[in-house]
Chains A and B, each alone.
Chain A
Amino acid sequence: MGFKIIGTGSQLPKKAVSNAQLATFLDTSDDWITSKTGIKSRTICSDETITDLAAQAALTALNNANLSIADIDLLVCATMSADYAMPSMACCVLEQLGGACPAFDVNAACSGFVYALDVADSFISTRKAQNVLVVAAEMMSRMLDWTDRTSSILFGDGAAACVLTAGDSLKYLNVTATPQIAPLFAKASNGNNPFVQNVQNYPNYPQDSVNNFLQMKGQHVYKFAVTTIQQEINLALNALHLQADEITYFILHQANTRIIESARTRLKLPLEKFPMNIEKYGNMSAASIPVLLDEMLQQNAIKSGDLLMLIGFGGGLTSGTAVLQW
């Protein structure tokens, strides 16, 4: 017993921000950002909340699945940038959709969607749920230092959702973490606690972290990403006794065109097996894989029987891979 995806949806903010617009207030250029990342534009929340986008994506996914929120037994939301620390984004989405069922968030950073699929699979496999709504939504723009030209250019906001039901589409799912804080983190706030002291020197906080913005050691994360993609692909192929060319599409977390290109080249696989949309959206963390999946389905790029390998990797450092037969 596993699951199949019977409906998807995605919703992006209305406001698109080009590299040229960033160059009006950051010391950067379209050429520099494009050559370093492959990103030309990103969508950023302005007069909408990420909850609004997540709820709209969820509604589209439900409509495509011909189900209503009343049919859903569990709502899992993959996010690290929700509108509230409490309640969960899952509860906020559920309220907008007018439903009532177990609802909670999963934070596995950019691997969050694959982790949420694993949670959904567990509920479905143990018959605790028949239909699960998995939402992945990130408002990365609220975590960024918009005066830092190295990090703020990389990310975007967006939401996507999938409706899962019991089925046999899932062929493989593996999630893991090799914990390292320093390469990629955003500190939580201590509020106005008058007792807290020496937070900067707390052993698990990198010494140089003085604010709550997302901080990233680019070279370290790049190396982790490229090696992880290769390892994840090899692990999955070995487990399934498949050759790489039998996978129709590798749907990778959209972090940087050069990460995907480096992994692809090292594995000697053709470009057409690695769909990308990062050029339009930047890195949307947990939302990037399901947004791309939804776009491919809208474009009829995925046919019945196709094998899809979804690979997430990111802060934690976490990674996860799911193989689905459509």
Chain B
Amino acid sequence: MLDKITEILRDYKSDDSLAVAENSTFEELELDSLDLVQLVMDVEEEFGVTIEMDTPITTVAELMATIENAQEND
């Protein structure tokens, strides 16, 4: 899952060597609140899940947990 998220983020940033770790924050990755929505929509498409924008997601780990939670609830 981390690989796929990294791939999406590298595509956004047009940076093939962008370092993404589970504890990376989206602030560090220079994603603003609307970029994050873009990422969520791409992740939804990639993993076939629906993610509500109600809970704040600030790190890659939180995004991964949200995806896993959505997969379990599907």
Q: Between A and B, how many residue pairs show CB distances below 8 Å?
A: 26
A219, A220, A226, A262, most chain B CB atoms within 10 A: A219
Q: Contact partner of A217 among B32, B34, B36, B53, CB < 8 A? A: B53
Q: Does B54 contact A (CB under 8 A)?
A: yes
Collect the chain A residues with CB atoms within 8 Å of residue B33's CB.
Answer: 218-219
Instruction: Count residues on chain A whose CB falls below 8 Å from chain B CBs.
Output: 13
| Closest chain A CB from B2 CB (angstroms) | 23
Q: Which 9 A-B pairs have the closest CB atoms?
A: A219-B53, A220-B53, A222-B37, A219-B37, A223-B37, A258-B34, A223-B53, A222-B34, A219-B33
| Closest chain A CB from B12 CB (angstroms) | 11
Interface SS of chain A: helix
Give A residues with C-beta under 8 Å from B. Answer: 35-36, 217-220, 222-223, 226-227, 256, 258, 262
Q: Does B41 contact A (CB under 8 A)?
A: yes
**Are A262 and B38 within 8 A (Cβ)?**
yes
Give B residues with C-beta under 8 Å from A. Answer: 32-34, 36-38, 40-41, 52-54
| Closest chain B CB from A275 CB (angstroms) | 21
Cα separation A36 to B35 with both chains bound (whole Å):
10
Name the CB-closest residue of B to A218: B33
Collect the chain A residues with CB atoms within 8 Å of residue B38's CB.
Answer: 262
Known: A223-B41, A226-B41, A227-B41. A36 touches B54 (CB 8 A): no
